[in-house]
Structure 1
Amino acid sequence: MRHRPHRSPSRAAVAALVAASLLLAGCSGGDDEPTAEPSSPEPTAAETSEPPEPTYWPLTGLERTTDAPRHPVIVTKVDNTSSSAPQVGLGAADMVVEELVEGGYTRLAAFYYSKVPKAIGPVRSMRASDIGIVPEGATVVTSGAAPITIKRINGAGIPWITEGDAGVYRETSRYAPYNLFAGLADIAKRLKADEEPPPYLPWGTEADLPKGGKATTLTADFGAHSTSWAFQKGGYVNTDSYAAQGDQFPADSVLVLRVKVGDAGYRDPAGYPVPETKFEGKGAAMLFHGGRVIRGTWSKDGLNGAIELSTKDGDLVVPAGHVWVELVPAVNGNVTFAK
């Protein structure tokens, strides 16, 4: 038997076979790999990074948009009698604390951090009360203190600057002891801080406050001296201030804390017993803000503890801004206000 010779398919047949196979592949049910979608471009670092967390000034609670100062908080003791007029530099302070001294008069602890004035004064002496007022890490500018007070201030680890140190000088146009002044701008350049201080008060916003009651004027009475305030144009004006014209402290709030007062253990040169504010424990608080008053309680765990505020409904905050703190004696002191 003769075999037929093998014959290769024609080009036309091959083409038809390929076309048929392609048609069958297109109709198949999904055995093939899916076609990849075009990839999206990777997000840039600028698109993926979150905005930085805001930072705030510790003595005002206001947002800080610059680097922190290299100097520590500087607390300057300022006379607060008629002999101090005109006081200089209060308008640049972040915060002011008014405290009782002998004879029923008061002295100011003016706090500087976000900015420092060229000059501040008249500078007067420290009290043991300052141990509970001055924040940790701060430096005090003072005319000195009684030996017993200096011993306690040093024991508390509070650094201080006084007459004889660079930047502290006598103003020749005034008479002693109300002529000691400090050039804070120059002093600040020579001071270095290890770290930024924590918030001095529990800061918040006006929206966080309870409604409170209406109060457009108030007076804090310390005995021989009283400090009065009036709510005007969104802030509080010290109506009996000794500050120079245009250099008054720009108070957004007035915080009154009723405090216990003890005996510091010595008498001043005039023979008056020197009081000591016990700024620890707890007491009644009154926050004046926006023409209203909110009653609450303050607490402080020891002289170095943080100040906490509360009402019967929970925590109380202080709206960010410049605050004048009145440490009014719970006994022999008084606070009055009116609508």
Structure 2
Amino acid sequence: MKKRMLCLLLATCVAATTVAGCGKKEEEKKPVVEKEEPKEEPEEEPVDTHEGQAKSYLTGQWIDEELAKKRPLAIMIGNTSDALPQFGTSSADIIYEVPVEGAYTRMMAIFQDYSALDKIGSVRSCRHYFLYFAKEFDAIYAHYGQSIYAEPLLEQEDVNNLSGLDGSVGSTVFYRDTNRKAPHNAFASAEGINAGIEKKGYRTELSSDYQGHYQFAEDEQEVNLTNGEDALVVSPGYVVNKPWFVYNAEDGLYYRYEFKDKQIDGANDQQLAVKNILVQYCDWSYKDENGYLDINTTSGGEGVYITNGKMEKVTWTKANENSPARYFDESGNEITINQGKTWVCVVQNSYKDRFHVYQTEAELQEARAAE
């Protein structure tokens, strides 16, 4: 009996061992599932969002490529209190403000696109040094009359100008506004300007060797002048119109004032505003006893660049009368300016001490009251 129970016990152990062993082998035979590494998506090619566009030589911004090839228009604008409001000026990409006789200033507005404007002005007469500034942009130059010192330059073959005193195109380009008194009643229209250019047979595209004027920041790369001096309110120092600019941090623009009020475009009631201000100090002298000035456009000298609430000192040079001025920082590097509109204040170099910056308009007005 005992022998039979022992045999049964041994048989049970062998059976259990056999089952356990089989289970182990089955587990070992289970396939190992390998985890797949996530597949890398191929990099997308950058999408060209500027098809049919090119960078403007005047603002550094993207515009229609055909428009970018077009020669700009530089037109003389009156800037006395009797000439206000001016018209079309908010559409200008660059404005030069330059002294003339009697301590007044005159503006030269430079447009890449003036096609929608039916009233630009009032248009005033030429001073010879404005022609050299216009040449820096390969611009067609429009004016109503000129000083005697400008006449020899206007006769040069490479000067393409539209004059209100030119019998062949004057009445085509310009018209009189009967609501204004002379000489502040001459205006131009896009239609008239284009007709005048066609009559004169002027080249309408930029010269093939034109390389531009300014060195602009790349897209999404703002110039902030982090080491510069604060320049929230800027007074260039002109003594008659006493202009100033006020920085608006919300849009990054400098808004323009003169004659104790906002400087407005009468065509749309828009206050003039720019991204960049350049102050360019020039050598100068008197031409004659009548007070006509000779602003030396090639003298080189000091200056100031102002943007985004800051300013830095610069120097400027110009290779010859027809080439663009170049601006350099204190390390000798050509400066990069922000994309957008620019106002160039040409200032006689003996009046550098009239230039001031302030933290608030109240500080500016207090300083002026104390003069």
TM-score, length-normalised on structure 2? 0.71
- Structure 1 position 198, deviation (Å): 3.5
Q: Which residue of 1 aligns with 2:54?
A: 55
Q: Which residue of 2 aligns with 1:244?
A: 265
- Structure 1 position 256, deviation (Å): 0.9
Gap regions ≥5 residues in structure 1: 1-46
Alignment deviations for residues 293-326 of structure 1 (CA, whole Å, 9 cap, x no partner): 1211111112212221111232211111100110
**2:350 is the counterpart of 1:331:** yes
Q: Which residue of 1 aligns with 2:206?
A: 195
Q: Which residue of 1 aligns with 2:322?
A: 304
Q: Which amino acid aligns with 2:131?
A: I
- Structure 1 position 60, deviation (Å): 0.8
CA contact (8 A) 1:202 1:307 kept: no
Cα distance between partner residues in 2 of 1:274 and 1:160? 21
Alignment deviations for residues 199-239 of structure 1 (CA, whole Å, 9 cap, x no partner): 22222255455421211001111333322100013201112
Cα distance between partner residues in 2 of 1:182 and 1:242? 20
Q: Which residue of 2 aligns with 1:7?
A: none
CA contact (8 A) 1:281 1:302 kept: no
- Structure 1 position 54, deviation (Å): 6.6
Query: In angstroms, what is the RMSD of aligned CA positions?
Result: 2.6
Q: Which amino acid aligns with 1:107?
A: R
**2:183 is the counterpart of 1:170:** no
Cα distance between partner residues in 2 of 1:304 and 1:251? 25
Cα distance between partner residues in 2 of 1:185 and 1:236? 31
Gap regions ≥5 residues in structure 2: 1-44, 165-169, 198-202, 360-371
**2:241 is the counterpart of 1:225:** yes
Cα distance between partner residues in 2 of 1:319 and 1:60? 8
Q: Which residue of 2 aligns with 1:283?
A: 301
Alignment deviations for residues 75-123 of structure 1 (CA, whole Å, 9 cap, x no partner): 1100101000111110111110000100111000000113442210110
- Structure 1 position 167, deviation (Å): 2.4
Q: Which amino acid aligns with 2:213?
A: Y
Percent of paired sites with the same residue: 20
Cα distance between partner residues in 1 of 2:237 and 2:155? 31
Q: Which amino acid aligns with 2:356?
A: T
Q: 1:210 to 1:252 in 2, by over 3 A?
A: closer
Q: Which residue of 2 aligns with 1:33?
A: none
Q: Which residue of 1 aligns with 2:37?
A: none
Q: 1:170 to 1:337 in 2, by over 3 A?
A: same
Cα distance between partner residues in 1 of 2:344 and 2:149? 26
Q: Which residue of 1 aligns with 2:189?
A: 183
Q: 1:307 to 1:254 in 2, by over 3 A?
A: same
**Which structure is higher in helix share?**
2
Cα distance between partner residues in 1 of 2:327 and 2:153? 28
Q: Which residue of 2 aligns with 1:6?
A: none
What secondary structure sits across from 2:135 in the alignment? coil
- Structure 1 position 142, deviation (Å): 0.8
Q: 1:98 to 1:178 in 2, by over 3 A?
A: same
Q: Which amino acid aligns with 1:329?
A: Q
- Structure 1 position 283, deviation (Å): 1.3
Q: Which residue of 2 aligns with 1:76?
A: 75
- Structure 1 position 156, deviation (Å): 7.0
**2:283 is the counterpart of 1:260:** yes
CA contact (8 A) 1:88 1:122 kept: yes
Cα distance between partner residues in 1 of 2:318 and 2:122? 30
Cα distance between partner residues in 2 of 1:224 and 1:148? 24
Q: Which amino acid aligns with 1:62?
A: Q
Cα distance between partner residues in 2 of 1:88 and 1:53? 31
- Structure 1 position 70, deviation (Å): 6.9
Q: 1:146 to 1:113 in 2, by over 3 A?
A: same
Alignment deviations for residues 11-42 of structure 1 (CA, whole Å, 9 cap, x no partner): xxxxxxxxxxxxxxxxxxxxxxxxxxxxxxxx
Q: How many residues align?
A: 288
CA contact (8 A) 2:92 2:110 kept: yes
Alignment deviations for residues 167-225 of structure 1 (CA, whole Å, 9 cap, x no partner): 20100111101000001344135534143554222222554554212110011113333
CA contact (8 A) 1:131 1:303 kept: no
Q: Which amino acid aligns with 1:257?
A: Q
**Which structure is higher in strand share?**
1
TM-score, length-normalised on structure 1? 0.77
How do residues 98-177 of structure 1 correspond to structure 2 at under 5 angstroms?
98-116=97-115, 117-135=117-135, 137-155=138-156, 157-163=158-164, 164-177=170-183
Q: Which amino acid aligns with 2:246?
A: A
Q: Which residue of 2 aligns with 1:17?
A: none
What secondary structure sits across from 1:318 in the alignment? coil
If asked which structure has higher relative contact order (CA below 8 Å, sep 6+), I would say: 1
Cα distance between partner residues in 2 of 1:214 and 1:330? 22
Alignment deviations for residues 231-255 of structure 1 (CA, whole Å, 9 cap, x no partner): 0132011122443352333311111
Cα distance between partner residues in 2 of 1:98 and 1:120? 16
